[in-house]
Amino acid sequence: MVDTLVFVVAALICLTGALGVVLARNPVHSALMLVMTLFGIAVQFVAQEAHFLAAVQVIVYAGAIVVLFLFVIMLLGVDRAQNLEMSFLPIQKWAALLFATGSLAIVVALIVVVGEPVTGAEAMGGALGGTDDVRLLARSLFSDYVYAFELTSLLLVIAVIGAVVLVRKPKLTDPITAGDGGAK
């Protein structure tokens, strides 16, 4: 009974946060609603006794990624109100509706076709062995794949810097010194 209650409450938190991300007019509010969604997912992980995943969910996603989102939003000044009319693409709304309907039809068709996806068969890699698996995963991540993770973080930093440079508005020149080339 308690498991069901925790699931329902966490699911409502996730759904409310997801709707808030999509429906909020202010990007900062959307980012904060994303934090709410990520915390709801972390509660779901705790309910499934996946404590490591819950901790990663809170620390990495709700902590670092959303803070990065907020940093970029504030730096670029997207949180201020702007006129975002899209009258130049009148067919865009209908194309989006068609795409959403098609995607929903594909998901429903997959659910109907698959039916019972749980087979009960043992995984190809065998059963989990406990703490040795965590040690093997950590050794693999911090030895074989450490450069891939470092390069990915470098790529993300470069992407943020590139976005800031591309969106940065040029400074207005001083009208007094602009006419005479800066000479006094």
Residue type at 146 in one-letter notation: V
Q: Does residue 6 sit within a domain?
A: yes
What's residue 154's pLDDT? 80
Across the range 138-167, mean pLDDT stands at 78
Shared domain check, 141 and 75: no
How many folded domains does the chain comprise? Answer: 2
Please return the burial class of 57, using the count of CB atoms within 10 Å of its CB with bins 0-12, 13-18 and 19+: buried
pLDDT at 9 over 60: yes
Q: Does residue 98 sit within a domain?
A: no
Q: Does residue 64 sit within a domain?
A: yes
Q: How far apart are the C-alpha atoms of 124 and 133, rounded to whole Å?
A: 15
pLDDT tens digit sequence for 38-53 = 999 999 999 988 888 8
Q: Per the structure block, which two tokens stand in for 84?
A: 């975002």
Domain span including residue 54:
1-80
Q: Which of 80, 99, 121 is the last residue of a domain?
A: 80
Q: Which of 80, 112, 127 is the last residue of a domain?
A: 80
Q: State which of 47-51, 70-74, 132-136, 149-153 shows the largest mean pLDDT.
A: 47-51
pTM of the model: 0.52
